[in-house]
Amino acid sequence: MNTKMSASVTKAASENKTAVEKKEPSRRSRVSGIDRVLQVLDFLYEHGSPSGAYMIAKAIGAPLSTVYVIVDDMVEKKLLSRNSEGLLWLGDRLYHYGLAYARSLDFLSVATSEMHDLCRDIGETIQLCGLDGDHMQVLAMADGPGHFQVTSRVGTRVPLNWTASGRLLVGHMSDNERLEIFKRCASPSPTGRADTDPKILSEGAVRAFSQRLSVQAGESDYAVACIAAPVCDEQGACVATISIVLPEQKLMDNTELYTGSVQRSAEKIETVMGWRKH
């Protein structure tokens, strides 16, 4: 009897241990509520347009029922908005958070002020752009007074090889860093005129950065030109660019006006920030 009881106890203990071991991975892999919220926001940010709950659930690998509960709660709290078609997008609350964050950044305040000054001076669309992973992102924009409209808006992310700013943003990096970035991100542009060869792009980035000027015409959009100058910090790294976006013909008619203007604006931002000698 004692032998049988001992065997039963051992077997029960073994079964209990197995059951616990099976449960532990499930506990460890459980995604918290805040992680799910961030996954939803990150997906919408990367996707760049309103999406349905089903698409979000599929993209983040979460049960549809879970996503329904999360997004409903986020809509109620204005972290998300839902349009008439039921699609979800970033909510008003995030916009206010973003404004508060932007106000705390002296650089963005200084650069935005100069962006608007340049827009008034030359009457063309001006953009501030920064590096976002392997992409260039539009940080701020001032629309020119004319009928010319730029397709890229604030928050737009495009491959670095499509834009004048993209080259400048990596121009201060080492040869290996630039090559690796362009190998990952270089892709054909809508017009087919953007270089995709990593070596050519890397060499062009160094040349543009040394000249503190990058010009592209018709590479990302037909008949659209962009002239950009780097804004560099005290270590000499390009933290952002300021650029003029205008019809290609205008650039050809008065190149010196636009190139000189954008370079002077970049220098003003650096001077106010204390990143260059007064």
Closest CA to 231 of 118, 122, 107, 141: 107
Indicate whether 132 and 255 sit together in one domain.
yes
**C-alpha angle 203-207-213 in degrees, rounded to nearest 5:** 135
Closest CA to 163 of 115, 128, 215, 90: 215
Per residue of the chain (278 residues), give pLDDT as tens: 444 444 444 444 455 444 444 444 444 456 788 999 999 999 998 888 999 999 999 999 999 999 999 999 999 999 999 999 999 999 999 988 887 776 666 888 899 999 999 999 999 999 999 999 889 999 999 987 765 656 567 888 889 988 899 999 999 999 999 999 999 988 888 888 888 999 999 999 999 999 999 998 777 777 788 999 999 998 999 999 999 999 888 888 888 999 999 999 999 999 988 887 54
What is the Cα–Cα distance from 185 to 273, expressed in whole angstroms?
31
Q: What is the CATH number of the domain that holds 40?
A: 1.10.10.10
Tokens found for residue 251:
């650039």
Indicate whether 166 and 77 sit together in one domain.
no
Indicate whether 135 and 247 sit together in one domain.
yes
Indicate whether 77 and 130 sit together in one domain.
no
For 58, the domain range is 31-94
* Residue ending a domain, choose from 59, 94, 129: 94
DSSP 3-state of 158: strand
What is the total count of domains within the chain?
2
What is the Cα–Cα distance from 152 to 122, expressed in whole angstroms?
20
What is the Cα–Cα distance from 90 to 123, expressed in whole angstroms?
32
147-157 pLDDT per residue, tens? 565 656 788 88
* Residue ending a domain, choose from 72, 94, 116: 94
1-55 pLDDT per residue, tens? 444 444 444 444 455 444 444 444 444 456 788 999 999 999 998 888 999 999 9
Tell me the whole-structure pTM to 2 decimals.
Answer: 0.65
Indicate whether 157 and 235 sit together in one domain.
yes
